């Protein structure tokens, strides 16, 4: 999904240089999102009950 989002961004690498809150693309691609996904899944399950 990260790949698809980055593919839609125009000049993302240039934006990273001027916006300190943006994360470098390689860091986002290398990050392990499994813990975050698990916590989100638990939250959504509890929310829908």
pTM of this prediction? 0.66
Close Cβ partners of 16 (under 8 Å, ≥ 6 residues apart)? 22, 23, 24, 25
pLDDT value for 27: 94
- Distances in Å between the alpha carbon of 11 and those of 4, 17, 24, 41? 14, 10, 12, 32
Is the per-residue pLDDT at 49 higher than 90?
Answer: no
| Cα radius of gyration (the chain) | 14
pLDDT value for 37: 96
Helix (H, G, I), strand (E, B) or coil at 26: helix
Is the per-residue pLDDT at 8 higher than 90?
Answer: yes
Q: Tell me: the pLDDT tens digits for 18-44? A: 999 999 999 999 999 999 999 999 999
């Amino acid at each position: 999904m990260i790949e698809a989002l980055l593919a839609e961004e125009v000049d993302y690498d240039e934006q990273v240089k001027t916006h300190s809150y943006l994360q470098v693309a390689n860091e986002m691609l290398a990050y392990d999102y499994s813990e975050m996904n698990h916590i989100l899944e638990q939250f959504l399950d509890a929310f829908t009950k």
